[in-house]
């Protein structure tokens, strides 16, 4: 039996929620939270809990905490400066903020390209701009390879194309897109790139400078933190956006002009604990150097562990003749361990609910990627089953999952 690639006693010990008897395989919906995050939230609320902007010491401490959160997020994504980090309640809301802030940059007839393979968060806000004469086109998923291809994007681009929106990894297919290739292609044609990274961020180190994405958005609550989200934007581009705060929040108020009412201070501050955990994990892999270098070492180890998990589950699913994987099989470096599948002749909802009795948390449906699930003709019978794993999951848990799935499917087949 292959062993886990990480010290699971250490890893699981950092997540208080893992003391529960459940096996959490619904992490793409929301991961467990690092214990240090809870400590930072409490520390802020007890010792820094006032409005920023005052001259007195506690207000200065609050402002320091918010900036420390921005700097932690800067390290997490390798932004050039902390002011390129915008905090918001969720990726959905940040995308809506971005779309509203960009609206006056578009003239009637200008074009935005989205993909029906995306989560609705990176489709709906842009389609609403059709009301103002913006033309929204769909970059289709190639139905044979189940990948996003530049040869399918190319004929959609024109001199009126201003923005292309795409996911870094699919929350259904698990496939990782080559974002730098996309960015180079889009920029060469005078447009900008907006990336939904929600399904990617928990699994791989992010380097927005290397990716050259113009906007890059993900939810921290799916990346071991609290229920908040992060939007990176290139500083000059953030300066061009219309503000969503008071009229006197101008170009000198970046990123505050995009955080109406101010961000949630304690949640922003707690980002420091997510980065600290990852850096500590990197140290345990033998890494030294900067926090960023230790974080990158942690994600290298996370990738190794997650590849083991994905291979184990995908191999089991592929060996059965009564189910099919929605997406491609295991290819190291090409997919995250978010795996959708369906058992032939079974309702996905019935299977997911039956797994509750085994203490295993999975989910079914379309996961707000409804256009993709419908395009794949997988919306019937409860949609798809999804097992979404992260590095704190173990091979033993995967084996427990597959044993339970086999039992549930067998029992339901006998009962039908």
Please write the tens of the pLDDT for every residue from 147-180.
999 999 999 999 999 999 999 999 999 999 999 9
CA pair distance 94, 230, nearest whole angstrom = 8
pLDDT of residue 231: 98
Q: Same domain, yes or no, for 260 and 378?
A: no
Are residue 318 and residue 270 in the same domain, yes or no? no
Residue 214 and residue 121 share a domain:
yes
186 in any annotated domain: yes
Amino acid 2: pLDDT: 80
Calculated CA dihedral for residues 34, 40, 43, 45, nearest 10 degrees? -100
pLDDT at 263 over 90: yes
Over the stretch 54-67, which tens digit does the pLDDT of each residue have? Answer: 999 999 999 999 99
Instruction: Indicate whether 2 belongs to any domain.
Output: no
Last residue of a domain, one of 217, 241, 274: 274
Residues spanned by the domain of 314: 8-32+290-415
For residue 302, tell me if it sits in a domain. yes
Residue 305 covered by a domain: yes
pLDDT of 269 higher than 70? yes
pLDDT at 248: 87
Question: What's 28's domain CATH number?
Answer: 3.90.1150.10
Q: What is the pLDDT of residues 206-216, one digit of tens each?
A: 999 999 999 99
User: Are the C-beta atoms of residues 272 and 69 closer than 8 Å to each other?
Assistant: yes
Residue 1 counted as domain residue: no
CA dihedral 59, 61, 66, 71 (to 10 degrees): 150
The answer to whether residues 360 and 384 belong to one domain is yes
Statement to judge: residues 116 and 214 lie in one domain: yes
Q: What mean pLDDT is predicted for residues 300-326?
A: 97
Whether 184 and 321 share a structural domain: no
Q: How many CA atoms lie within 13 A of 211 on its CB side?
A: 28
| 327-331, 340-344, 396-400, 411-415: range with lowest mean pLDDT | 411-415
Tell me: do 73 and 21 sit in the same domain: no
Same domain assignment for residues 141 and 13: no
pLDDT of 413 > 80? The answer is no
Give the per-residue pLDDT at 333.
Answer: 84
C-alpha span between 106 and 376 (Å, rounded):
32
Model confidence pLDDT, tens digit, residues 4-35: 999 999 999 999 999 999 999 999 999 999 99
Same domain, 27 and 84: no
pLDDT higher than 80, residue 416: no
- For residue 252, the model assigns a pLDDT of 81
- Distance from C-alpha of 176 to C-alpha of 333, rounded to nearest angstrom: 8
- What is the pLDDT at residue 414? 83
Pair of tokens at residue 369: 């990627």
Is residue 210 assigned to a domain?
yes
The reply to whether 85 and 185 lie within a common domain is: yes
Residue 49: band (very low, low, confident or very high) from pLDDT cuts 50, 70, 90: very high
In the chain, what percentage of residues exceed pLDDT 90? 95
Q: What is the CATH number of the domain that holds 186?
A: 3.40.640.10
d(CA 353, CA 23): 14
Q: Please tell me the number of Cα atoms within 13 Å of 58 on its side-chain side.
A: 9
Contacts of 20 (CB under 8 A, 6+ apart): none
For residue 62, CA distances in Å to 37, 183, 225, 269 come to 16, 37, 19, 9
| 319 belongs to a structural domain | yes
Q: Of 239, 274, 309, which closes a domain?
A: 274
Residues 136 and 242 both lie in one domain: yes
* Cβ atoms of residues 28 and 199 within 8 Å: yes
Q: Are residue 132 and residue 172 in the same domain, yes or no?
A: yes
| Mean pLDDT, rounded, of the chain | 97
Residue 1 has pLDDT above 60, yes or no: no
Q: Report the number of distinct structural domains present in the chain.
A: 2
- Is residue 296 a part of any domain in this protein? yes
Cis-peptide, bond into residue 255, ω within 30° of zero: yes
Q: Which helix (H) or strand (E) holds 135?
A: strand 135-138
């Amino acid at each position: 039996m292959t062993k886990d690639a990480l010290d699971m006693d250490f890893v699981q010990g950092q997540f208080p929620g893992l003391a529960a008897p459940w096996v959490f395989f619904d992490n793409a919906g929301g991961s467990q939270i690092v214990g240090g995050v809870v400590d930072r939230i409490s520390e802020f609320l007890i010792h820094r809990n006032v409005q920023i902007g005052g001259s007195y010491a506690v207000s200065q401490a609050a402002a320091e905490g918010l900036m420390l959160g921005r700097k932690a997020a800067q390290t997490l994504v390798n932004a050039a400066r902390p002011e390129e980090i915008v905090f918001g309640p969720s990726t959905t809301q940040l995308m809506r903020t971005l779309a509203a802030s960009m609206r006056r940059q578009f003239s009637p007839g200008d074009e935005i390209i989205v993909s029906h393979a995306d989560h609705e968060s990176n489709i709906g806000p842009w389609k609403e701009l059709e009301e103002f004469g913006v033309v929204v086109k769909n970059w289709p998923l190639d139905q044979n390879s189940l990948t996003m291809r530049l040869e399918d994007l190319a004929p959609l681009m024109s001199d009126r194309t201003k923005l292309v929106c795409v996911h870094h990894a699919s929350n259904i297919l698990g496939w990782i897109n080559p974002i730098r290739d996309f960015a180079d292609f889009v920029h060469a044609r005078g447009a900008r790139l907006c990336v939904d990274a929600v399904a990617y961020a928990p699994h791989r180190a992010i380097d927005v400078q290397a990716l050259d994405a113009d906007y890059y958005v993900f939810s921290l609550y799916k990346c071991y933190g609290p229920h908040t989200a992060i939007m990176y934007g290139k500083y000059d581009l953030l300066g061009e956006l219309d503000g969503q705060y008071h009229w006197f929040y101008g170009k000198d108020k970046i990123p505050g002009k995009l955080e109406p009412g101010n961000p949630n201070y304690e949640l922003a501050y707690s980002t420091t604990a997510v980065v600290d955990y990852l850096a500590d994990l990197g140290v345990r892999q033998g890494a030294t150097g900067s926090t960023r270098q230790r974080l990158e070492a942690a994600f290298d180890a996370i990738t190794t562990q997650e590849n083991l998990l994905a291979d184990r589950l995908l191999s089991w699913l592929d060996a059965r003749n009564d189910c099919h994987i929605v997406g491609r099989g295991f290819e190291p470096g090409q997919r995250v361990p978010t795996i959708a599948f369906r058992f032939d002749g079974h309702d996905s909802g019935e299977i997911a609910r039956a797994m509750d009795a085994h203490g295993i948390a999975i989910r079914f449906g379309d996961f707000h990627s409804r256009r993709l699930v419908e395009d794949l003709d997988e919306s019937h019978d409860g949609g798809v089953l999804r097992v979404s794993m992260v590095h704190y999951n173990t091979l033993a848990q995967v084996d427990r999952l597959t044993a339970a799935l086999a039992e549930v499917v067998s029992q339901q087949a006998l009962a039908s």
